[in-house]
Amino acid sequence: MASSLNTGNQCTEELDAKSFHRFFAQIPLVNDELPGRIISGRVQMRPNVKEFCDSSVVFVDGSIIDKVDVVVFATGYHYSFPFLPRDLQANSGHRLRLYRHVFPPGMSRPTLAVVGFIHALGAINPLAEMQARWVTRVFKDLIALPTQDTMLQSIEKETATMHQSFAVSERNPLQVAYLPYMDSLAEQIGIRPNILWLLLKDVRLGLQVLLGPCTPYQFRLSGPGQWVGARETILTQWERVAQPFKTRVSPPVPEPSPDHKMRLMMALSGVAALFCFCLHAKSSFCSVPLPLLAWRAL
């Protein structure tokens, strides 16, 4: 049994699992087996739970399921940092008040950073890596944070944008747009790739960065933390994607024997000779005078 929580994926009406929010407004649920389980009846979609009565579950639409053995509450959890000072636990909406989801704005000197405390429609590892690269440069005084008022204004603006773009709740307060967030931090670090310059300098690489997947390698092409192998890694990343699907060992295909090759060549030669003969016969027929054709017709 599955309660009708907002999973973020747009299922069809046949599955009786219509979402109550826009597409990509929440983190999508990616599961290849779920639609088949719903269609076969092994998983039944239900509305939200209203109450429990002994071994029965009552749903908000009035339906009841009796003799329930196990109830699993997959409701998420609340974010809490009780070990931090109270003034660093202030919220902006449902999110913790952090500049760019990393730095508390109320500190006189940035000595505390929160890395990886974020959600996006993409992998968390590249986001956390980008945050860590930014944090280390701030700690080293290579990048200066704006004033406290500027950071607070930025936090309020980000919170308003987040509420407009995503279905934000207590269970889901940390959503950001993946590419804009990565590019904004990369620009502050000085590692955002210049697409126009890449297209003029290296067309193949520029097209891969512009049209290909946004992988962390492209943020190693220039600037701090530059890696000499970034270009080759970007150009061959699709090969590494396909490599795991080439692990099956196929039986060797026997090479054709010389006799088979000779027979094939003779067959092709015969077909070619027959084709030339037909063309010659057709041209000869078309060159016959019209009176002779009429006499033959009679």
Q: Where are the domains of the chain?
A: 2-65, 80-189, 193-242
Confidence of residue 131 (pLDDT cuts 50, 70, 90): very high
Confidence of residue 24 (pLDDT cuts 50, 70, 90): low
DSSP sequence for 266-281? HHHHHHHHHHHHHHHH
d(CA 94, CA 90): 10
The answer to whether residue 126 scores a pLDDT higher than 60 is: yes
Sheet holding 56-59, edge to edge: 49-53, 56-59, 64-65
Q: What is the mean pLDDT of residues 119-127?
A: 87
CB atoms within 10 A of CB 229: 9
Confidence of residue 16 (pLDDT cuts 50, 70, 90): low
Name the residue with higher pLDDT: 252 or 152: 152
d(CA 62, CA 67): 16
The chain-wide mean pLDDT, for the chain, equals: 80
Q: Please tell me which of 17-21, 41-45, 193-197 the model is most confident about, judged by mean pLDDT.
A: 193-197
Residue 264, helix vs strand vs coil: helix
Structure tokens at 243: 């490599």
Q: Which residues pair with 210 in a beta bridge?
A: none
Lowest-pLDDT choice from 90-99, 244-253, 281-290 = 281-290
Q: What is the mean pLDDT of residues 238-264?
A: 74
Predicted confidence at residue 18, as pLDDT, reads 61
Interhelix angle 178-189/124-139, nearest 10 degrees: 20
Predicted confidence at residue 11, as pLDDT, reads 43
Predicted confidence at residue 78, as pLDDT, reads 73
C-alpha torsion angle, residues 207, 211, 212, 215 (rounded to 10): 90
Pairing of strands 2-3, 45-46: parallel
The sign one gets for the Cα dihedral 198, 202, 205, 207 is positive
Predicted confidence at residue 272, as pLDDT, reads 78
The answer to whether residue 113 scores a pLDDT higher than 70 is: yes
d(CA 283, CA 17): 70
Q: What is the mean pLDDT of residues 136-148?
A: 94
The sign one gets for the Cα dihedral 176, 178, 184, 190 is positive
d(CA 264, CA 266): 5
